[in-house]
Amino acid sequence: MPVRDSGVVVTGAGHGIGRALATRLAAEGARVVVNDLDAEAALRVAEAIGGFAAPGDAAGEPGVAALVETARGHLGSIDIWFGNAGIDRGRGLDAAEAEWAASHEVNVLAHVRAARLLIPAWIERGAGRFVVTASAAGLLTTLGNPAYAVSKHACVAFAEWLSATYRHRGVVVQAICPQGVRTRMLDNTGPLRDLLSRDGALTPEDVAEAAWQALHDDRFLVLPHPRVADYYRHRATDTDRWLDGMNTLQRQLEDQGGLR
């Protein structure tokens, strides 16, 4: 898909992967709308890349509607949507109801609300691209945080549904599913940091490069860590063995005093 002069929105673009995506797309000639809850960060990134800052909520229904309206007002039309904003809340079964609700709101419903507003116009013109930043946790799982694992699974599932439903109408849907990436989120994972980095913690720019390459072949799964494909196959073809392996990692973390 041609990117030069395309109208692109990147949510959660004030930091980390979102900032790297916005920077790379702008460097390739896209007209980028930079969204983030952190208004100062959004403005800073937009100024650095020659983009347009649209700070604010990209998850709640009013916030998504406002962002789409603002982006269309600036771009004319939205060609590519990068739903990158995400959160990692709560730990274990003690995670509060509010943490589960927030995870579902940001990691799942944000994409549903954006798709409702974007896809009808894309169907009408026969072209559009919807990219979500999910996680390897959405294909596999993650230890320690069920709200994150479950919501990222739902994120991937929704993206799969969109692709199965609309690809013949010209809508391309892709899911970026990295493991450890050197961001604030990885820094906050505590004892899980080494586990998430076992295949190498990538830079946000590495993830942006993988996403950029995937724009050229329309693959659904964008796997910056190629080993995730092997883990995904093992999980599907020998689920009990895979779960035994994950439980072994859980016990090792418990023995080290990291998880309970």
| Residue 78 · residue 129 · CB < 8 Å | no
Distances (CA, A) of 51 to 24, 147, 154, 185: 12, 33, 31, 25
How far from the centroid of its chain's Cα atoms is residue 168's Cα? 23
The candidate with the shortest Cα–Cα distance to 49, out of 85, 87, 18, is 18
Per-residue tokens: 57? 């909520």
Burial class (CB in 10 A: 0-12, 13-18, 19+), 168: exposed
Annotated catalytic, 148?
Answer: yes
Phi, psi of 10 (to 5 degrees): -125, 120
| Residue 14 · residue 44 · CB < 8 Å | yes
The candidate with the shortest Cα–Cα distance to 169, out of 122, 228, 223, 226, is 122
Catalytic annotation, pick one of 148, 166, 231, 232: 148
Q: Which residues are catalytic?
A: 148
